[in-house]
């Protein structure tokens, strides 16, 4: 009993101290640099700066307010860890941008008219369904997983806060 109580207090203390240390570090120190994109294989780079701008514009069009929580960084972290998704998303974003350039002579991220943006999105939704559904699902999942959005929705968060033991595991004897 005493041993488990000590472990719990140590875990709680380490979690509290670690959380304070990490929260005091500026986020720019922890952020990864994706300016040149992600190199899938030697010489094959996806998500260059233009594709990242298209991605951020599409995420903002699908879910207004997503740029406030750094959706670009969240998606970049995700595609950096899942290289297969990176190639699929890169191809889909290239597709929507090339359609925008061919029809309106502007990249997708420079379009201002909501009607034009929605027309391109509905075209992609019909013609490139797999990309659209996967990208929309990713953006929504990342958006609603952010604790800043929880506060806007008056949701206080999951019942198990950070730094505490996981009660889904059975207790040790």
**Residue-level pLDDT, tens digit, the chain, 173 residues:** 556 666 655 564 555 455 444 444 444 444 466 778 888 788 888 899 999 999 999 999 999 999 999 999 999 999 989 888 999 999 999 999 999 999 999 999 999 999 999 999 999 999 999 999 999 999 999 999 888 888 888 887 766 655 566 666 665 66
Same domain, 15 and 46: no
Q: Which neighbouring-strand residues pair with 13?
A: none
- DSSP 8-state code for residue 109: G
C-alpha–C-alpha distance, residues 72 and 143, integer Å: 11
**What residues make up the domain containing 26?**
1-30
CB 90 within 8 A of CB 96: no
Same domain, 72 and 11: no
Same domain, 9 and 45: no
Could you tell me which residues come within 8 angstroms of residue 164 by beta carbon, excluding any fewer than 6 positions away?
12, 15
Residue 93: alpha-carbon gap to chain centroid: 15
């Amino acid at each position: 009993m005493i041993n488990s109580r000590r472990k719990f207090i140590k875990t709680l203390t380490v979690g509290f101290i670690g959380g304070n240390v990490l929260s005091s570090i500026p986020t720019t120190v922890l952020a990864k640099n994706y300016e040149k994109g992600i190199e899938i294989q030697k010489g094959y780079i996806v998500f260059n700066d233009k594709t990242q701008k298209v991605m951020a514009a599409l995420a903002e069009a699908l879910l207004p307010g997503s740029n406030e929580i750094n959706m670009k960084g969240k998606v970049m972290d995700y595609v950096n860890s899942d290289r297969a998704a990176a190639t699929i998303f890169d191809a889909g974003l290239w597709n929507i941008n090339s359609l925008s350039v061919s029809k309106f002579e502007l990249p997708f991220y420079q379009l201002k008219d909501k009607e034009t943006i929605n027309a391109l999105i509905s075209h992609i939704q019909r013609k490139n369904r797999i990309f659209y559904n996967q990208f929309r699902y990713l953006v929504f999942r990342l958006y609603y997983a952010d604790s800043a959005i929880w506060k806007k929705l008056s949701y206080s968060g999951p019942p198990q806060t950070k730094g505490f033991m996981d009660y889904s595991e059975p207790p040790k004897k």
